[in-house]
Every structure is written in structure tokens, then in C-alpha cells.
Structure 1
């Protein structure tokens, strides 16, 4: 098994192992930074020795680990190569990490660690993790870490599963060995992936070193004399090769729910889509506390943004739209105006487009930096929105999308948010097809949302903001 499920969210073990190793290295870097700084300021002090307290080193390590996650360093290491990982590491450590540690140090009145220790600690941390990742890539063949998977089925469902896996094949921890046709289904997968039905399934999975069998035939009630290999698959399970259903496999590996093969019964009986009053109260308290903190910190930026909008294009500085929230209830969402006053003549809702000519110069800047969405902190405080959840859509779009996309209204079973899982996984949506693809991630969040997942989304959203991804 190359993944672990933490609080309903799947985390791939290679990333987890590397993260744990680096966490230890970061603690060591903080210790080395403290020792080195002390040797420069107090030459008579011994270099070796344990610090008076380990908690500053632990905070140092956690902060830099969060910054690493926020810049997508591990995914860049696998997908984009060492050079991209190097750039993201420098940004996460020297820009984000140093700034976060500096602010924490100020808030604690210098009680965290001296600025010199932070400086040397970040330098040592950068050197240690870069060496560790280079050694990891040198010694470990990432292809060998992937589980070998065979798909039972070669029709439309199997082809759809392969299409879902293709864009993420360099990141996910599986390698598809091939597809075994089921009964008389029409074969739609590439012939190069076809495998003959094995006479002895147990011998086959052992010979091919198969780690998992994914069941995704077009028709399980085999017609024309075909027989579903139930006993054979149970035998494989008994020798340690598990079987999973195609939809659950897609959910686990890709973090989305494929609505093209989704059945209402699966939603009803699967593990998920649960309500917890305790979690709801805790999330509300977290939202109110964090929104209040952000207002206290960011109010100067709000004033400057309002002045910039008014100086360029006059009033109104703010604008509001009706959006659909929890259980289909509509509410007003507030933003700093980033478009011309006549952006929607006649009041007709229009999808935002890439390089939209309705966006003003100030509007382009505040959209890229997400400053235009700061007034939505009021929506969070009011209770219409949460920090994390599916992005709310306009009622006009929701009516059309609900008619064209199955299960679309299910995304309204949780409170909408300032940031969401779909925004991390899919670019800006400006069409029905984009909304269909984003819904698959929104359903995953609706089914599996937890405090851990909310924290991961908030951390990783930093990369979206810094790099201006998904802005139209």
C-alpha cells in the first residue's frame, strides 16, 4: 500500500516519508543555526550541546514544512524536475519561511529565537533538504515506488479511468500494467494495453507483481456466457492483492469523484457525506477567529485597495452579487470592484474570460493578488461562507448547470468558501465543461472534508496566490 488515509483524506506514503525525514532535518538545521550563531557571538561557548529548549526548533521545522507544502515543492520534484524544485524551495524558505518566522518572532517579543539564528537556520535548512532530495532522486527510482495496477475492463469505463489518470501519471503512485477485457464489452482502450484474461489469476498477479486490481467493466452482469471472475478475485485478495472499484480508485488517487460513472447508490452507501455537529461548531469558531485576525492584519491593504479602485474608475468601490450557498440559500457576496461599471449591461450574468477586457488595470492587479476578495471576510464573519469550501456560483449559472450536470446541487450540502479543493486542482472555470470538471473535486471535498483537509487547502492556496494561478 503506497498511501495512508488520515481523517478521510488520502496521502501518498512517498511524500509522507520524505516529509517526515525533512522535518527531522529542519529541526537539526535550527539546532545547527543556534550553535553557529552562538559560536559567532560567544566564541568561548562550546559548539556541541543540546539547546535549552527544543520547542523553538520544532516551530522552525513546522513553519518551513508548511511553506514547502504551500509552494508545491514535492509535486514539482516529481513532475517538473530538480530545477523547478530548487526555485520553489528558495522561495518557500527564504521568502515565505523567513517572513513567517520574523513575524512570529516579533509577536513573541523575540522569544522564539534571535534573528541571527533564523538566518543561519534557513541557510542550513536549505542545504540539508536540497542534498536530501538529490540523494533521494539518485538512490530511488520513483518508477519503482509505484504500485503496479491492472484494470479488469477494457470498455468505455476503463478508457475514462485511463483518461483521468493520464494527466497525473508522473505524480500518482501507480502504474497501469494493462487492461483485461470483460466478457463481450466493446474494447475502447489502446490495443497496446490489452492483456488476455488469465487462466490462473493468482499466478498472473504474482508473475506480473500486481499490487492492486481495479474493477471497471462496462457491464458486471456478464451477458453472452461471460462470467464475472468473483472467486478468482477473492483468491487474489486472499494472497494479498486487493481489489478496488474504479470510482473509489479514482477518488483515492486523484482526489476527485468521476461523475460520469457515479451512481446515486454509491453516494448513499459510501463512507462519507457525513454531518458532525461538533465539527460544524469547531469550524465556525475557527472561521470567526481567523477572519477576525485577518481583518486586524489586512485592514491597511483594504483601505489602499479601496482608494486605488476609486482613483482609477470612481465609485462604487465595492460591488455585490447574489450567490448560492449552503442548501441552496442565496446570499450577497462582496468584492472590491475589478471591472468597469458597465461590465454586465442589462444585468445579464456573463462568464469571466481569460484576458477579459472589462477588467481595469487596478482590477487586474487586485485579482492577481486576490485583494479583490478581502471584503468576503465579512461574509465569513456573517456565516454565509467558510474559509474553505466550494466556491459559490451565481443563481443564474446554478440553474443552468444543475440542468446540464448531474449531481451539481450536491456541492451545496456544505458551506461555500473563500478557497476550495477545486481551485487547487483545476484552473479557472468559465464554461459548462469547466464546471463539470470542477464539480468532481467539489464532490470529493463534500464527501471527505475534515479539519486536516481544510488546513492542507489553506496552506497550498499560498502558491495559487503567489503565482497568480487561475486568474481571469
Structure 2
């Protein structure tokens, strides 16, 4: 079954069962006779509210990535995600519907039961579907037609492993690799060398790729992953070789198997749309809320030191594209006139008194909300660096260019864990934090980082 059909089936089942849960809770509350009924509704009056509540749950489930359905996902992981979504959803409803004048016990019991019903519905749909699909794969139904990339001892080991684990559903239909490498002992058709990979994958004949290059062919991995990004083909790699792809893909360890599912697509289409919508809503709201601060800083900055109110630079964004980033000026005018581009240091003498304050509270970054609103940046992502520094870091720091796979952000995992300044000895450490974010990108993680940023600002740890 194709991904789109699985997605449609899950959505259909969720909508039907969510509606049943809504009307079931209504019956229990108002028709069962177990509670006092101060208000009663006709079933027809509940249609619109039920659709609104259903839409609320569908959006929340999408936010938690529960419509990025993976046939190879662990059932325990699916159940855990479902529980988190149901718990958060019920908590939000509790806050929205809380009325201190109503009897607390009965209304909270009903809401708790409703939240449990949502958890059972969401997890049951996913765990049940995962179980059915696994049984189908064991019987040879719905297996992934898979292309093996590599030949030799490592490829041979994985082929033998797949032979005794049919539940994974990776049916090897052919392999590519260097002609000089030894052929696998299993009877698999040799299709040619690595140069044929694009041609073989372009026509959709393969649903998955198993990466197993020998040591001498490992240098091909980066090029192959970039190709998979273009063609949107999922791939698997042995756990011992994943280190070669760090920060370049979204990894998921397949429980009980020595394989890592590497996703060239870091976020699904739905998640990307929700992330962009979140960026627009938050940036537009913050622009309105912080307007008085803009006016105040527009007065204080030129009074503190001569020069413009704003400061702009060319920064490097996603896929290496440059854009103009805006900030409130926190340094003296022409700060780099005699030094050229240099990294900011702790206790930098170029920072003005007002600059010390606005950097500590991150207020200097408020104009970047315009960059977010325009789509050049996101609220959460790796810190955008200057063109000169990116060129240098790419030369000096292995894998640095992989942080350019995502949009830069006003805040991020690195920004909330490390200090504001960009000292050279911290760049490699920051890179590891950026890789953690890239490999674990999700909307709940973004929300967590935004809350952490709020505490960083309140504690004045911006510098």
C-alpha cells in the first residue's frame, strides 16, 4: 500500500472514531443518567462543534507527526507518540474549558475519560495497522522493492540478515557497486556501477535503497544521499556506518535490527506546512506585541552611540543561499573598519552599553522577525552565519556544510545551550548541537526550544 493510501486510511479512521468518541462522551454526560444535566443539546446541534473538535485533534496529531506513517515504525514508538498527543490535547481542552463555578470532579472525570479514549483510538489505529502490515510483509505482500548499493562483505552480511528477517519487507531486486569489489554470495542481479544509480531510481522501480558500501566506496555516500534527497527515495544503512551521514539525514533506528532508517526528507509536507504556519503566526504576533520596544530602542540606540538604528549583514541560509539579516545595532559604528570580519568575543569592547543590554535579553534579534515573516528564516533553526565565516568553517570543520540543509532560525538548540558569542573554539561544539536539532527536527521540539528561549531571555543569559 502506498504512503498516500496509508495516510488517507489513517485520517479516515481517525475522523470516524474521533466523532464516535465525541458523541459517546456526550451520551455519557447528558443521556446516561449518571450525571446531573443542567444543559441538554439536540444531536443536530452538536454537528458543527464535533467537526471543530475533530479538526482540532487532527491538527494536533499532525503536529506530533502522527500522520507521518512509517510501515516499519516500532509499535511502542507509535503508542508513546499517541499518548503524548492525547495528553497534551486533553490538557489544552482542560485549560480552555475550565470554569471554577462548575463542579470540578465530574467534568474532569469526563475529560480524563475522553483523553483516554483519544489515546486508545489514535494508538489503536496505528498499532493495529503496523501489526497487519508486518504480517503481510512476512507473507511477501507489500514488501519494498529494494536496491542494494554496495557489494562485498558488508552487503553480503546484510543480505543474509534480511533473508532471516522477512518482517522488514526489504526485497532486494538488484545491486550496484564498484566492479572491482567482490560480488555478494546471495543470488542478486548486478545492475552496474554507482553512475547508474540516478537512472535506476528515477523511474520509480524501487521503493527503498539499502546502503552497504565497503570501506573503499564509503566516499560515495555523501553523493548518494544528495541524490536520494532529489528523488525522495527512503534509504537504510547499517548502524555502524551511520556515523558517515551525521547531520545530513533524519535517522531512525529500527528496533531489534542493525539498521538505521535514514530520511533525506527531514520533515513531511504536512509538518513543513505547519512549521511555516507557526512561523508566520508567531512572528506576526511578536511584531505587534513588541512594537513599543521597537519605538523605545529606536530612540535609545542612537542616543547611546552615533550611527544607525538597524544593522544588516549578508548571511547564509538554507542550501547556501544568501539573504540580508536585520538586527538592532549593538556595536559601535563601523565596528569592523580596522579588523575586517571577525568573530564576536565575550566582553567584546565594540559592544555599546545599550548593546550589552539588548544582547543579554536577545532584543537585538527582534528585527529578524521580518526575516521569518518573509520566509528566509524560521523561528527555530541553526544560527545563520556570515558568508565569510561559512566559507572558512566549511574548509576547516568536517561536515560543517550539512547544517545548511535547513532554514536558519532566530533561536535553536545550540542557541539555548551555548553562549551568544561565536568563539572559534566553540564552533565545533555548536555544530554538534545543530546536528542534534537537524536529526530530531519536529514541531514539538521547536515548541520546547521556544519555551527554553523564553527562560534564557528572562534569566538574561543572552551574552
For the aligned pair, the TM-score class normalised by the smaller chain equals 0.3 to 0.5
- TM-score if structure 1 supplies the norm length? 0.46
- TM-score if structure 2 supplies the norm length? 0.47
